[in-house]
């Protein structure tokens, strides 16, 4: 039998001891205080943000519709020494799109935009098909075209101001001025070398945009742009034109591979002209080759040949080992050193030191050079700047090749005396000749105009040695010398020819580098001019026949441009005849 128990009365289900929560009084009070403190903190924070400091909320609100946009700074101008324009930035427009909005354009709107941008509708569709929030459609269009596009009021199509670099002198100054890219930053030449000064600093403006990104109100400037600094080069545009045109004519006349020309103010070291051929138009750089872009006068090296000989003669005079009239036997025009034989292109008998330079005798120069230790010759070349960068700050400038003197063999010492076994750039060689135009001082070179005077160089030779060397260099351009075609009517000039074999595959080939480096006028030197022609193939290959006439034409025009009076009438007074020292 089952016994049923009736539930006891007087107990409720919710009063079960299991469900009772025993909470001490102090804990409940603590929770209440914490909640109250949190509420007060929220009230205080709200009061602070909305009453005392409402900048935060204002900033957050502004961020929904206010934008700071960059205001481009104009890149600094590049001018020549007289202020003539060489590079200037012109205002342009860039068209950009919000692809999602631009895709809502009608077919007719797309056709109109593509026509104004000189592109196909297919290319336009390809631009705005990108899954991006921003894309350039076409950069650097004219302001007039930009206005016509703006008048169409196309959805998702916007514009911004930028600048395009323009070069008035075009290919004439391309290698020294250089050029910029589409973002207006320097890529070559002075544009790259002086980028920090030219670039400037962009500013900013605050605008109000709608949800599609359209500017509906210009609030004002927050930071004005700072335009780049104007750069005044040492370049003289008139002399640059002379050097460029004569170099071009010479390369074309002799069907040469390339060439370079440099004109230096002998008193200040300023580079008045620097030209290369082939060249390019920096305003239109399509289909360029590496050969066109190379600044050969600064970045390429070559074996200079006989233009090195005057330095060896000057060292002998300066050390007192020889005099101008010291006789050197160069017969029979050949000389064996070890297992190698060197020779003169035209054999001579006994020659004075002056005639060794005038006739450009390899044998005579080698005999002078072998009278020195390798260290003495190396020290001279080092003082002249060979084997070192010219410190112009120009992109790609090279130091050439000058091997340590401890490794020189006698045959190498002999060949280096007449410019084989050593490599230099044209700018290095031009600078080295400043010692003959500045009483023995090697001048520092400058791409920028030098307003401070006087400029001092590094002493290399004595003044007496230099005066004697000038007479020798003047003899070289006389009828009995190697460069009579380098003479300048009305002026006394002097210089030295160079005709050197080129190295291909580690051996000398039957290809030549023809050069001439000279000073003008001899009575009071003002200019150093160096001309180099690479691989002349028509009309001879000797430096006096190829580079000499180019030197003559450049010097004649430059001397007249600078207003330097003729000094040919001073020949007798200076003790010099047309055949050399009296």
Residues 172 and 138 in one domain: yes
Work out the end-to-end distance of the chain between its first and last CA atoms, rounded to an integer number of angstroms: 162
Residues 214 and 241 in one domain: no
Q: How many CB atoms lie within 10 A of CB 140?
A: 15
Q: How deeply is 106 buried, as exposed, middle or buried, from its count of CB atoms within 10 A (0-12, 13-18, 19+)?
A: exposed
Residues 204 and 301 in one domain: no
Examine residue 225 and say whether the peptide bond preceding it is cis (omega within 30 degrees of 0): no
* Residues designated as active site: 306
Is residue 7 included in any domain, yes or no? Answer: no
Is residue 63 included in any domain, yes or no? Answer: no
Residues 99 and 241 in one domain: no
Residues 81 and 117 in one domain: yes
Task: Supply the pTM of this predicted model.
Answer: 0.81
**Per the structure, how many domains does the chain have?**
2
CATH of the domain at 137: 3.90.1310.10
Q: How far apart (Å, rounded) are the C-alpha atoms in residues 258 and 249?
A: 11
Q: How far apart (Å, rounded) are the C-alpha atoms in residues 578 and 575?
A: 10
Q: DSSP readout, 333-394?
A: SEEEETTEEEE-SS--SEEEHHHHHHHT-HHHHHHHHTTS-HHHHHHHHHHTTTTS------
Q: How far apart (Å, rounded) are the C-alpha atoms in residues 409 and 412?
A: 5
Tokens describing residue 304: 């200079």
Residues 340 and 468 in one domain: yes
Residues 322 and 366 in one domain: yes
Residues 185 and 267 in one domain: no
Nearest to 79 by CA among 261, 229, 284, 269: 229
Is residue 53 included in any domain, yes or no? Answer: no
Residues 85 and 147 in one domain: yes
* pLDDT of amino acid 19: 53
Q: How far apart (Å, rounded) are the C-alpha atoms in residues 558 and 529?
A: 10
Is residue 481 included in any domain, yes or no? Answer: yes
Residues 258 and 182 in one domain: no
Number of H helices, E strands in the chain: 20, 23
Residues 244 and 180 in one domain: no
Residues 193 and 256 in one domain: no
Q: How many CB atoms lie within 10 A of CB 534?
A: 20
Cβ 114 vs Cβ 104: under 8 Å: no
Structural domain including 547 reads 237-283+293-581
Is residue 536 included in any domain, yes or no? Answer: yes
Is residue 49 included in any domain, yes or no? Answer: no
CATH of the domain at 554: 3.40.710.10
* pLDDT of amino acid 461: 97
Give the H or E element holding residue 545: helix 543-561
Nearest to 512 by CA among 476, 543, 477: 543
Tens digit of pLDDT at every position of the chain (582 positions): 455 555 555 555 556 555 555 556 667 778 888 888 888 888 887 777 677 766 665 666 555 556 666 666 789 999 999 999 999 988 888 888 888 888 888 889 989 999 999 899 888 888 888 777 778 888 888 889 989 998 888 888 888 888 889 999 999 999 999 999 877 889 999 999 999 999 887 776 666 665 555 555 555 556 777 888 999 999 999 999 999 999 999 999 999 999 999 999 999 999 999 999 999 999 988 777 778 888 999 999 999 999 999 999 999 999 999 999 999 999 999 999 989 999 998 899 999 999 999 999 999 999 999 999 999 999 999 999 999 999 998 988 999 999 999 999 999 999 999 999 999 999 999 999 999 999 999 999 999 999 887 889 999 999 999 999 999 999 999 999 999 999 999 999 999 999 999 988 888 899 999 999 999 999 999 999 999 999 999 999 999 999 999 999 999 999 999 999 998 764 433 333 333 332
Is residue 10 included in any domain, yes or no? Answer: no
Is residue 273 included in any domain, yes or no? Answer: yes
């Amino acid at each position: 039998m089952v016994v049923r128990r009736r539930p006891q009365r007087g107990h409720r289900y919710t009063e079960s001891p299991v469900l009772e929560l025993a909470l001490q009084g102090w804990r409940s009070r603590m929770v209440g205080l914490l909640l109250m403190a949190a509420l007060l903190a929220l009230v205080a924070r709200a009061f602070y943000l909305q009453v005392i400091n409402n900048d935060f909320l204002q900033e957050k609100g502004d961020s929904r519709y206010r934008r700071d946009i960059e205001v481009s700074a104009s890149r600094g101008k590049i001018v020549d020494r007289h202020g003539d324009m060489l590079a200037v930035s012109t205002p342009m427009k860039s068209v950009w799109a919000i692809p999602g909005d631009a895709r809502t354009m009608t077919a007719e709107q797309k056709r109109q935009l593509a026509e104004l941008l000189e592109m196909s509708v297919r290319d336009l569709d390809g631009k705005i098909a990108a899954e991006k929030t921003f894309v350039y459609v076409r950069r650097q269009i004219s302001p007039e075209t930009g206005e016509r596009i703006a008048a169409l009021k196309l959805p998702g199509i916007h514009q911004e101001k930028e600048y395009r670099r323009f070069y008035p002198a075009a290919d004439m100054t391309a290698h020294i001025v250089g050029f910029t890219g589409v973002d207006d930053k320097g890529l070559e030449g002075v544009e790259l070398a002086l980028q920090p000064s030219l670039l400037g600093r962009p500013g900013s403006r605050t605008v109000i945009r709608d949800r599609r990104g359209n500017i509906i109100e210009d609030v004002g400037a927050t930071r004005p742009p700072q335009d780049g600094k104007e750069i005044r080069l040492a370049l003289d545009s008139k002399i640059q034109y002379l050097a460029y045109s004569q170099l071009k004519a010479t390369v074309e006349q002799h069907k040469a591979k390339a060439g370079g020309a440099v004109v230096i103010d002998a008193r200040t070291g300023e580079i008045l002209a620097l030209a290369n051929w082939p060249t390019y138009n920096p305003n239109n750089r399509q289909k360029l080759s590496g050969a066109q872009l190379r600044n050969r006068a600064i970045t390429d090296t070559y074996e200079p040949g006989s233009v090195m000989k005057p330095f060896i003669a000057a060292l002998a005079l300066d050390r007192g080992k020889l005099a101008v009239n010291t006789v050197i036997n160069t017969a029979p025009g050949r000389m064996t050193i070890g297992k190698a034989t060197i020779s003169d292109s035209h054999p001579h008998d006994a020659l004075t030191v002056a005639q060794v330079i005038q006739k450009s005798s390899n044998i005579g120069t080698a005999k002078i050079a072998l009278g020195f230790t390798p260290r003495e010759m190396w020290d001279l070349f080092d003082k002249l700047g060979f084997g070192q960068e010219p410190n112009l700050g120009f992109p790609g400038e090279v130091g050439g090749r000058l091997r340590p003197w401890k490794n020189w063999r006698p045959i190498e010492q002999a060949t280096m005396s007449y410019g084989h076994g050593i490599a230099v750039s044209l700018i290095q060689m031009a600078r080295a000749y400043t010692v003959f135009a500045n009483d023995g001082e090697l001048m520092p070179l400058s791409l920028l105009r030098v307003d401070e005077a006087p400029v001092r160089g590094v002493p290399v030779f004595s003044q007496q040695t230099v005066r004697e060397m000038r007479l020798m260099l003047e003899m070289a351009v006389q009828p009995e010398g190697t460069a009579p075609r380098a003479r300048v009517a009305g002026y006394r000039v002097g210089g030295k020819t160079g005709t050197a074999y080129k190295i291909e595959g580690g051996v000398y080939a039957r290809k030549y580098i023809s050069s001439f480096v000279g000073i003008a006028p001899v009575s009071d030197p003002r200019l150093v001019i160096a001309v180099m022609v690479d691989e002349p193939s028509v009309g001879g290959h000797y430096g006096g026949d190829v580079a000499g006439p180019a030197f003559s034409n450049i010097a004649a025009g430059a001397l007249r441009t600078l207003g330097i009076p003729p000094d040919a009438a001073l020949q007798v007074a200076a003790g010099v005849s047309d055949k050399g020292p009296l």
